[in-house]
Amino acid sequence: MRTGLFYGWELAQGERAVDVYDEVLEQVELADDIGFDSALFGENHFAKSSACASLVCTLGALAGSTKAIRVGTGCKALPLDNPARIAEDYAVLDLQLNGRLIFGVSPGEQEGQFQTFGVPFAERWERFVETLDFVTKAWTNDAFCYGGRYFRFPKDIATDLAHPFRSEPYAKPFLLPWERGGKEVKYLSIVPKPVQIPHPLVWVGTNAPEAVQFAASKGYAILPGPQLSRSAVVQQYKDFTTALNEAGRELSEVERPLIRDVYVANDREQAIREVRKQLENLYDIYFRDGRLSGGNGNEVAPSDCGFEALVKEHAIIGDPDQVFDRIKLYQQEAGINHIICRMKFPGLDHSKVLRSMRLFASEIITRLRS
């Protein structure tokens, strides 16, 4: 079992964006030293309730200050950017990280951001699929053109929905790459290429209903989030396994990550006392935004289910033994092999996060690995 960290950049009332960046980077740098395997970051824009860190610059900064930990997006909302720039940005990041990039992707879920960037929200799933197709093709091919429904590359190419991607055909005389500058272009190559072959790991954020089938058909991992209840997680991995099998694949071929809210202290009462308020606030935000799913897919208010239910269905809080047991339970029930912990809750003290991380590393990581 691998272990990771997740940051959604949520802010508590009175918490300032500029104060949390250094804390978060320090936490991930510590995680790199004490044995965590990964750290993922969410994407946010223009929200007072979020620190809205630039994804590319956060990952870039960590490329310079970490050595072994994988870092990545959790998730990048693909429809919000120019697909060519996404391919370029994350290829550069994979090079900076020497192949340690995890490319978590999603269709995006916040309508206001789509309005600001001028992208129709209703088209987000189709745009997501097309952009991911473009980006993975760009990473794995030399000169090509792409005539998609939403994106054409180069821009004058005609849309061809049956075959949007076309590799440059052989031509005589063959022009070497350095003989091609300043000409009319029908085909372009996106460079530099990433380190990972065939391309960086792709994980699909699973808020959209189509996502499980889609990920299975491509052989990408899914990434269930903290807002999914335990029973919903089990169901999602069951559906995913079925879909993989139908596509001729096995669950063991892909990474099986899961994001949970995790806090470890020496005893359970202390753990609950230290994070109860922050966690309830966080889940109230999810509930207000309609992003909280219970076992049957219905939304359950945190105030209806109480803190005990929150801990039972979503968060993993307790002493080292209890946290270990709960993660093992997810492993048995859902088949996960990578637990990604959100340890920095909005408003939670930096020193408490570090203490929880250290305890997790010394008491739990080794046991999970064996």
Partner 1 sequence: MEFWYGLYGMQSPRVYPRSWARMYQEVVDHAARAEDLGYDSFWLTEHHFWYDGYCPSILPVLAAIARRTSRIGIGTGCLLLALHDPLRDAEDAAFLDVLSNGRLILGLAPGYRPEEFAGLGPDHKTKASRLYESIEVLKKALTQERFSHDGKFFHYDDVGLVPKPLQKPHPPIWIGSGWSPVQARNIGRRGLAYWAGPALDLESVHKLTVEYAQAARTAGVPESEIKLAVFRDVCIAETREEALRIREQDLLPMYEEQYVSYGYILDESGGRRRDLIREHPLFKQIVRSFIVGTPDQIIRDIERYQAIGIEFFMPRIMLISQNRDRILRQMELFAREVIPHFKH
Which residues bind to partner 1, rule: CB under 8 A? Answer: 17-18, 21, 25, 45-48, 50-54, 56-65, 81-82, 84-85, 88-89, 91-93, 95-96, 98-99, 115-118, 153-156, 177-183, 185, 188-193, 195
Decide whether 187 or 283 has the Cβ nearer to partner 1: 187
Decide whether 99 or 120 has the Cβ nearer to partner 1: 99
- Shortest Cβ 66–partner 1 spacing (Å): 9
- Shortest Cβ 26–partner 1 spacing (Å): 11
- Shortest Cβ 57–partner 1 spacing (Å): 4
Q: Cβ distance 106 to 205 under 8 Å?
A: yes
Q: How many CB atoms lie within 10 A of CB 92?
A: 17
* Residue where the block lists tokens 């750290």: 39
Decide whether 156 or 246 has the Cβ nearer to partner 1: 156
- CB neighbour class for 56 (10 Å; exposed up to 12, middle 13-18, buried from 19): middle
Residues 123-135, buried b or exposed e (16+ Cβ, 10 A)?
Answer: ebbebbbbbbbbb
- Shortest Cβ 124–partner 1 spacing (Å): 17
Decide whether 57 or 329 has the Cβ nearer to partner 1: 57
What value, to the nearest 5°, has the Cα angle with vertex 39 and ends 33 and 45?
135
Listed in sequence order, the residues at least 6 apart from 59 whose beta carbon sits closer than 8 Å to its beta carbon are 41, 71, 72, 73, 93, 96, 97, 101
Decide whether 188 or 305 has the Cβ nearer to partner 1: 188
Decide whether 98 or 362 has the Cβ nearer to partner 1: 98
- Shortest Cβ 21–partner 1 spacing (Å): 6
Q: Which residues pair with 87 in a beta bridge?
A: none
- Shortest Cβ 129–partner 1 spacing (Å): 20
Please state, in angstroms and rounded to a whole number, the distance separating the CA atoms of residues 8 and 6: 7
DSSP assignment of 187-246 equals: -B---SPPSSSSSSEEEEE--STTHHHHHHHHTPEEE--TTB-HHHHHHHHHHHHHHHHH
